[in-house]
Amino acid sequence: MGVVKVIELLSQSESSWEDATRKALEQASKTVRNIKSIYVKEFQAIVEDDQITQYRVNCKVSFSLDGSADQQEHAG
């Protein structure tokens, strides 16, 4: 498996928790390589006038570090 790092991200969407999760992954993938998984730790919804207006997630994104054993196995 090599060495895996985990970062925690907060994201929100007006449409769904799934969309908020996709947005977190999309943003992370702009600067992070070798993403292996995303784990949604917490869900939250913002309510205004008895309606959900924002869906929020707190998620953990795990990725392999460059040069880890997993990366070397796939390179050879």
User: Does the pLDDT at position 73 exceed 60?
Assistant: no
User: What pLDDT, on the 0 to 100 scale, is given for residue 16?
Assistant: 97
pLDDT score at 76: 47
Q: Evaluate whether 56 touches 46 at the Cβ level (below 8 Å).
A: yes
Q: How open is the CA angle 21-57-6, to the nearest 5 degrees?
A: 75
Q: Locate tokens 């895996």: which residue?
A: 4
Number of folded domains that form the chain = 1
Contact assessment for residue 55 and residue 20, using Cβ atoms and an 8 Å cutoff: yes
Confidence band, pLDDT 50/70/90 cuts, at residue 31:
very high
Token pair of 32 as six digits: 């992070």
Measure the CA–CA gap between 52 and 39, rounded to whole angstroms: 23
Give me the pLDDT at residue 2, please: 80
User: Domain with 48 in it: what CATH number?
Assistant: 3.30.1660.10
**How does residue 20 score in pLDDT terms, banded at 50, 70 and 90?**
very high
Per the structure, the complete domain to which residue 21 belongs is given by 4-75
